[in-house]
Structure 1
Amino acid sequence: MDTGSTAWMLASTALVCLMVPGLALFYGGMVAAKSVLNMIMMTFGSVALVGCIWVVYGFSASFGDSIGGAGLLGDVSEYFGMRGVIADDPKAVIPLSVFAAFQALFAALTAALICGAISDRIKFGAWMAFTGIWVTLVYLPVAHWVFAFDGKGVVGGWIVNKLGAIDYAGGTAVHINSGAAALAVILVLGRRIGWQKEGGQERPHNLPLVMLGAGLLWFGWFGFNGGSALSSGNAASVVVLNTFTATCSAMLGWLLVEKVRDGHSTTLGAASGAIAGLVAITPSCGAVSPVGALALGAVGGAVCALAVGLKYRFGYDDSLDVVGIHLVGGLTGTLLVGVLATSDAPNGVDGLLYGGGLSLLGKQAVGAFAVLAYSFAVTWLIAKALDMTMGLRVRPEVEQEGVDVHLHAESAYDLTHSPTTVPTPEPAAAG
């Protein structure tokens, strides 16, 4: 047992957990004041539900021995109810329990990312039902494909082992997966009332909250990517350096596009650019050099800044740009591994620019588009089935008046409360 690596994994798990309020604040600040609590509730609610599913059968379905050796799904019975996970194995480098906790947060955050695309118009109960079904049918198989490595007598997922594609921390399983799912749900759910007629989405109600959320996500992402090394050595250090580097250049790339296109650079653009860089570097953080991370981040930030405008051209109402940032950013980072990867980095593979040819780029494309197609197709079927049974969308009057009050009987800001009147003390008696 490596106590140093175990300590790093415990710290990384805590860092990733901080991304939950980070995401809630990031999303919450971008919606109208009448919807902020619902956004926070959808984020925390999905995390709570996925955490329970993970303990019962989620971890086993993702990391159990592949059923039939096909690399499609783990054996649900192997770790059912976390059986055998908490046993002390002196031969293990890190305890299996900390790895299970670390990966639980990956699953929870991936599901939570989707809710940003459908703000202001989905029933909370329908969202929770969707989350449970989606994680079971979409996330768990994809996580097995991408994260489950072959071991001694154990067969893992087909993308990481048979195909040999590189995804260090979840560009496919997390970002392409959630972005494709978001697009599918949007198409079933429909646009918000008066969306394009009013010139697009409502303005963010609290930009300082958005920046705070982005900062917490950036901080937590060091655990998200760095913890994926599963050790506290050089690999984790390189990954943390690359994660920071790409985020910086992505922010500048996004702001440059804004300045050229719109004539000004915005706070929302800076926050969105940082997240775009974090998304893009996630699959490639162990495959590129720091200079490669600079280039990848700049490209990712610029491409995502351009991609968020596609919703107006094609008419899909992606409320908080989940498709433009997570799907497009995940694709960009995953494919650029095939171009910018260097054998000097922890993954030890050369991409096109370092003499590796087109082979790696081809593998990256197959893995990325396989996840995209599977996630989109299955998610659309899940959303359509729920819409036809329990119904996904709130009533029009609920959407217009605000989902916070109608769905949660709460308001984020008490703007009508009158200050308490302090009574005037009686004058002292004479003499």
Structure 2
Amino acid sequence: MLTNKKIVLAVTGGIAAYKAIALTSKLTQQGADVRVILTGGALQFVTPLSFQAISRHDVYTDTFDEKNPREIQHIQLADWADLFVVAPATANIIGKYANGIADDLLSTTLLATEAPVFIAPAMNVHMYHHEAVQTNMNALKERGSHFIEPNEGYLACGYVGKGRLAEPEEIVAVLNDSFSLTKQLSDKKVLISAGPTREQIDPVRFFTNHSSGKMGFSLAEAAAELGAEVTLVAGPVQLATPRGVKRIDVITAEQMYQAMLSNYDNQDLVIMSAAVADYRPVKTFEQKLKKQAGTLQIEFERTTDILLELGQQKKQQYLVGFAAETTDVEYYGKEKLTKKQLDAIVINDVSQEGVGFQGDTNEVLVMTKAGKEKKLALASKKVIAEQLIRQFIDDIGVE
């Protein structure tokens, strides 16, 4: 699976740095093209010549030692990589990366890359379990970094516990699995809606809701990471487009309906996670409404029920809806599943703290047409998205 893959291997300063020599060998034996970065700390334990002899490439050690005057070294490496591996990763580099510190070649390259990042920690057991280190690792996990857990055993410092760098064979297996997973959706098309819609009242006011779009964008990112061809129809949100995702920006419910419908026919998986306005003003005022005595009445009319329309036109698509509820969540979710002819419904109780709109976490209940129910406990929206996509893969029957 690693044949012809371009891998940046970063080695930081710890006694486990010697294992990175064997890791370089294992990766090249798998057919990977490996470029190695050694930090100043790593140079105290291993030498560039060992890595150069195995990788057959220059070894990178200094931000200002530009190998090619026509390129900016850390940007070139960041763009070149298909995978970025830090092994061993010290508490120091984990802290830098988590907090956006860029003061050497490795940290600047890490912040510049858009490739998947795999981090293999190695350190004293007490350091590994320290609250600051765990906080930094959790922050990186939420941003999408992948951690290769250390093993338990005798450590160089004399302690016995968790902190031993994973063996080179284990790291290679994880990297192979990452490319195997990517192929799970490589021939599939996925259509996702995200965010709110806005229905204009006058030039300065509109009717909308609290949706941030974070859940839908996380779903799009998770599907793209598994190799899908992803189209994301996004309401008005301030979020970066996930890598490899085609984005269509819309504002109103009608625009979202047209965008979803025009991209619907050839999709394999369709996820309607957007919070679409159910109503819009019958009349839109061309000039700003001025304050007046007494109450103001604005007449509203129904917008198109996008999910209902998609359900009625469904052919081969696996159609998923979202239900944000505040009372009787299971009842209303199940009703929506049946009424709109869905294959699955993702229900969240947005009255609960940390669940639903605006926040970075979510907790959901998934119900399927086949009668399966699964609750996903409170976690970051990225983690929930990954769990949902994997469940839908199982339901669709992708191997």
TM-score (ref. length: structure 1) = 0.27
Structure number with higher helix proportion: 1
Rg (Cα) greater in structure: 2
Scaled by the length of structure 2, what TM-score is found?
0.28
Kindly indicate whether structure 1 or structure 2 has the higher relative contact order, using CA contacts under 8 Å at least 6 residues apart. 1
Higher relative strand content: 2
